[in-house]
Structure 1
Amino acid sequence: MFALHESEDVYKALVADLAYAAVPTAVMGATIVVVGSFAWSETRDPAVFAATLLGCFASLAKLVLTILQGRRNQAGVLGLAETRWIELAHAVITAFVALSVGSLGSLLFQQSNLPLQMLGTGLIFGYCAGVVARVSIRPRIAAMAILIAVLPGIVSAALFGDPAHGIVAGVFLTFLLGGMESVAHIYRNASRRITMQLQMAALARRDPLTDLANRLGLRERFDALARPAGRLVAIHAFDLDGFKGVNDRHGHAAGDALLRAIAVRARSLSRGDDIVARIGGDEFVFVQTGLTHAREAGGLARRLHAVLTEPCRIGGTEHRIGVSLGYEVAPAEAADLDTLSGLADHASYVAKRRGGGIVEAGADRGGHEKLAGLRLLAS
């Protein structure tokens, strides 16, 4: 019932949602204290006092955990290892809360006082309803909690031996099985919802034709780049010369196939945190990261130009296209996407006016334009 087939991103998103249960946790903790305090005042049973105390401290621990996890969620996406530790902490603390509820409910069922038995029933049902509603996104934790909370009550009711309590035990067992099915149903729906949200978010950041990053994906990934001191970043902007002719003579299907082939070739030269993006039509951007010297950018520009201008066979026809490429280099810690892209794009237009090839944009290390210093490197 609880076979979990979820991606790492879905798993982290579902565990992150456990942080949004502070209010239900506080309400449940207060309910345990109120019911337990009243039951202890009526029975003076040390076991009731111990179960109440356990529930109080376990609920406080869970409340602290949810608050701290919420703050970590706001700080950014958690890593897989930290997410697993948080899930384990939720499982352990939830087990102690469930043990408190189960013990308190079982002790109240053993009393001859009918109102105390009713309080025990309400406590168990209320807790399990909360678990189903809030914890089903981690179904194994939810199932464990329900079993720990309900089974002692079933046993206590069954031990009375009379028909009425036997019916109560049967009802509890029925609701236990129904709760398990509800947990599985809610988990499946939540997992599908999160998967769909992640897929939609990915689609919004990728070009569907080439599977490269689009403008939004390029900006987000560029903003997330590490900016180590002493390192450089280069932006290569290029478009295809003669691409319109391919579309006009051979149709858009051939043009699309050519764009996909260009994307594969460009991506084959990427490494590490490099970013390859299609920003529209036949326009592409290649972000080169981790450079130690500006000449590395020139080396990649020449490799890109050589690879992209190799003949491409599509549908039995060999196509030759040119590439106009401009690039600019800047210190990683001060690199601005818009400034560098503008300079590289301008350089690519200069290359196109000169018949194609490679042009390095002239820019000082502060990012100020020196377009008069454009230098033709290849054609």
Structure 2
Amino acid sequence: MSWLFQPTGTVDPTGRGFLLGELLGSVAAAVMGSFCALIVSGTALLRSGDPSYMVFCALEASLIALRVTEWRWRSARSGQRPDHVPSIDASAVLSALWCTLQGALAFTIMSSGDLVLSVLSATLVTAMLGPICARNYAAPRFAFLLVLLCDLPFVAGAIASSEMWFTPIVALTPLFLVGAMQIIRSFHRTMLMTLAARATALHLAEHDSLTGILNRHGMDRALSRIPPGGERQMALLSIDLDGFKQVNDRYGHGVGDILLTKVADRMKRELRPEDLLGRMGGDEFMVIVRDMRPEHVAPLVDRLIEAIARAPYDVGGLVVHVGASVGFACLPEDAATAVELRLRADDALYAAKGAGKGVGRRYRQPSPDTRSDDSVAGQQFLRR
């Protein structure tokens, strides 16, 4: 059944979630559609006296109650848990049942041959199909299924009636269905283009245009999305290149830019897919390592330092060398919050650079009686 809800184009997981969320729609529109169907069913009951229309009224009222209940339950869950992701299953099933009920009502009225009720039925079906296309275009196949559930029984009822002048409806139906599908596809294509543009803009906002890795804004967002809790296991690495300024000053920013890209590529090869690498500006990088114990972070830091410095870089025919100093801190051992973790990784980087080039240091809480004035000044400098 998931085939019915697949988009017809490429979309990222965030956009996919947005499309599915569109299917939930507004309960007000669903209630108004049921109210119109109740009017037609009630009119048919009063005009014909056929008890089957009483069944239609009862089923319509039951579906209204179910849809309102489902909507209120979903809203309550979302209110209680902001991170709750609602399921579309119940809403989709109720939509399909409602369209099936409208198709059954249309077939019953049209096959009766009552011209007055047939006009009402045709009006109801026509009025329903537009909102169905507009509310369900996020899943084109599902939207077209709903259209068929409403329209085909209406056409079948027209054929089953004794009124020969209903015959043109059969010829008009294929054209009508093609038009409905074109409307659905047009809405869907426009939404996919909008989602693609939004995804591109978000990517550019969170990624460094030079290296393609996360930028400062992207890393800040990544840190802000880390859920609270003492059970988190995470390390943050602050990395500063040794010797980059000399290369940049001697050969120019063009060479420096290429060098930064090559350094970022080397670091990516040493990291796991779930680790996050970002360029914070200039020759400063940051790595977020999740689900790694502190005793395993130090070897990773050593591998990064070795990978950056182990071989010279060929930059446009020039051969240059750079190294790296790394400071890191671990959560929850060294900090209680992500913000504190970042500050302490910067403190550790300052200590690493003070110890010499190509050094990695983990944050250590200085004692009040041994903390030097230079250490205090260095930490204040980093916070500026």
Question: Normalization by structure 1: what TM-score?
Answer: 0.83
Q: Which residue of structure 2 aligns with residue 21 of structure 1? A: 26
User: Is the alpha carbon distance of 1:269 and 1:318 closer, same or farther for their aligned partners in structure 2, counting shifts above 3 Å?
Assistant: same
Q: Distance in 2 between matches of 1:196 and 1:145?
A: 29
Does residue 360 (structure 1) correspond to residue 362 (structure 2)? The answer is yes
Deviation of the 1:258 alpha carbon:
1.5
Deviation of the 1:124 alpha carbon:
0.4
Deviation of the 1:217 alpha carbon:
2.1
Deviation of the 1:52 alpha carbon:
3.4
Q: Which residue of structure 2 aligns with residue 308 of structure 1? A: 308
- Quick check: 1:209–1:256 contact (8 Å CA) kept in 2? yes
User: Is the alpha carbon distance of 1:57 and 1:231 closer, same or farther for their aligned partners in structure 2, counting shifts above 3 Å?
Assistant: closer
**More displaced, 146-155 or 329-338?**
329-338
Q: Which residue of structure 1 aligns with residue 127 of structure 2? A: 126
- Quick check: 1:229–1:332 contact (8 Å CA) kept in 2? no
Cα deviation 1:32-89 (Å, max 9, x = unaligned):
22221222122222332333333333344344444545566673374xxxx8xx4554
Deviation of the 1:131 alpha carbon:
0.5
SS of match in other structure, 1:176: helix
Q: Which residue of structure 1 aligns with residue 200 of structure 2? A: 199
Q: Which residue of structure 1 aligns with residue 41 of structure 2? A: 36
Q: Which amino acid in 2 is paired with 1:4?
A: T
SS of match in other structure, 1:58: helix
Q: For 1:1-379, list aligned pairs within 5 A.
A: 4-7=8-11, 9=13, 10-69=15-74, 75-76=82-83, 78=85, 86-160=87-161, 164-225=165-226, 229=230, 232-271=233-272, 273-293=274-294, 295-310=295-310, 311-331=312-332, 335-353=336-354, 355-356=356-357, 357-363=359-365
Q: Distance in 1 between matches of 2:337 and 2:245?
A: 31
Cα deviation 1:95-128 (Å, max 9, x = unaligned):
2111111121222223454432221112101211
Q: Which amino acid in 1 is paired with 2:235?
A: A
SS of match in other structure, 2:42: helix
User: Is the alpha carbon distance of 1:254 and 1:91 closer, same or farther for their aligned partners in structure 2, counting shifts above 3 Å?
Assistant: same
Q: Distance in 2 between matches of 1:6 and 1:32?
A: 37
Deviation of the 1:180 alpha carbon:
1.6
- Quick check: 1:109–1:153 contact (8 Å CA) kept in 2? yes
- Quick check: 1:309–1:321 contact (8 Å CA) kept in 2? yes
- Quick check: 1:225–1:273 contact (8 Å CA) kept in 2? no
- Quick check: 1:16–1:73 contact (8 Å CA) kept in 2? no
User: Is the alpha carbon distance of 1:281 and 1:106 closer, same or farther for their aligned partners in structure 2, counting shifts above 3 Å?
Assistant: same
Deviation of the 1:254 alpha carbon:
2.5
**More displaced, 137-146 or 241-250?**
241-250
- Quick check: 2:352–2:360 contact (8 Å CA) kept in 1? yes
Deviation of the 1:133 alpha carbon:
0.7
Q: Distance in 1 between matches of 2:54 and 2:335?
A: 62
Q: Distance in 2 between matches of 1:153 and 1:324?
A: 74
- Quick check: 2:111–2:159 contact (8 Å CA) kept in 1? no
Q: Which amino acid in 2 is paired with 1:269?
A: E
Deviation of the 1:142 alpha carbon:
0.9
Deviation of the 1:231 alpha carbon:
5.8
Cα deviation 1:239-295 (Å, max 9, x = unaligned):
2122233334334333222212221222223236432211112111112332434x4
Question: Normalization by structure 2: what TM-score?
Answer: 0.82
Deviation of the 1:233 alpha carbon:
2.8
User: Is the alpha carbon distance of 1:355 and 1:33 closer, same or farther for their aligned partners in structure 2, counting shifts above 3 Å?
Assistant: same
Deviation of the 1:227 alpha carbon:
5.9
- Quick check: 2:348–2:363 contact (8 Å CA) kept in 1? yes
Identical aligned residues as a percent: 24
SS of match in other structure, 1:28: helix
Structure 1, unaligned runs of 5 or more:
375-379
User: Is the alpha carbon distance of 1:68 and 1:141 closer, same or farther for their aligned partners in structure 2, counting shifts above 3 Å?
Assistant: farther
Q: Which amino acid in 1 is paired with 2:27?
A: A
Q: Which residue of structure 2 aligns with residue 377 of structure 1? A: none
Q: Which residue of structure 1 aligns with residue 3 of structure 2? A: none
Q: Distance in 2 between matches of 1:24 and 1:97?
A: 13
- Quick check: 1:258–1:314 contact (8 Å CA) kept in 2? yes
Q: Distance in 1 between matches of 2:336 and 2:111?
A: 71
Q: Which residue of structure 1 aligns with residue 379 of structure 2? A: none
Deviation of the 1:129 alpha carbon:
1.0
User: Is the alpha carbon distance of 1:301 and 1:370 closer, same or farther for their aligned partners in structure 2, counting shifts above 3 Å?
Assistant: farther
Aligned residues: 364
